[in-house]
Amino acid sequence: MKGKYIILLIVFLVIAGGLFIYFVFYPEKESPPQPKVSPAPSAELPTPYIDREANLMTVYLFFQSSEGNWLADEERRIYYTTSITDQAKQVVVELIKGPSKSYLLATIPPSTILRELFLTRQGIAYVDFSRQFISDHWGGTTGEMLTIYSIVDTLTINFPSIQKVQILVEGKEIETLAGHLDLRKPLNKDLSLIAQR
């Protein structure tokens, strides 16, 4: 009987020692760090407006500020149509053209082509780019974030009916643009990246 207690005590000590070694020498793995961008000053959002006489609509495109790692808006005029999809396509084409102001930087490679853009009843805009969107992108954590959110924020701020944006390349969902952001699901706008006007 005494021998059984000794065996149980030894088993208990071995298990306790193993647990001690495991928790001391193999601490819980930390989740990978999330990309960080210098916070932009709080933003007052621009409001698009329509000039019905000229059949033009003023919209706001978001490009990278040359003064920091955030987005700043540039006013642009597009043709006013009754189709939100047509207006959204014009806006993305203008984003690809890049900024006209010297203090702003392009966020999308100029070789990129907008293949298609369509909206769902749930308010998701699917934006389909050519392969150059990935192959000609300059990379980097900040570069990727500003590229993606220049598109997402431009569409969701100018068109309230667009709630989220899903990025596609050559008609297919992509996991990431440059290895830092998960693009497998539609994205909401992120106002923290927009500089104060």
pLDDT digits (tens, 9 = 90+) for 67-77: 889 999 999 99
How far apart CA 129 and CA 45 sit, in angstroms, is: 27
> Using CA atoms, how far apart are residues 184 and 197, in angstroms rounded to an integer?
32
pLDDT at 43: 56
The pLDDT score that the predictor gives to residue 196 is 73
Predicted local distance difference test score (pLDDT) of residue 14: 66
| Position 62 pLDDT exceeds 90 | yes
Please tell me the least confidently modeled range out of 46-60, 82-96, 116-130: 46-60
Q: Which of 27-31, 87-91, 98-102, 169-173 has the lowest mean pLDDT?
A: 27-31
Q: Examine the pLDDT at 108 and tell me if it is beyond 70.
A: yes
Region 62-71 average pLDDT: 93
39-48, 79-88, 175-184: which range is least confident on average?
Answer: 39-48
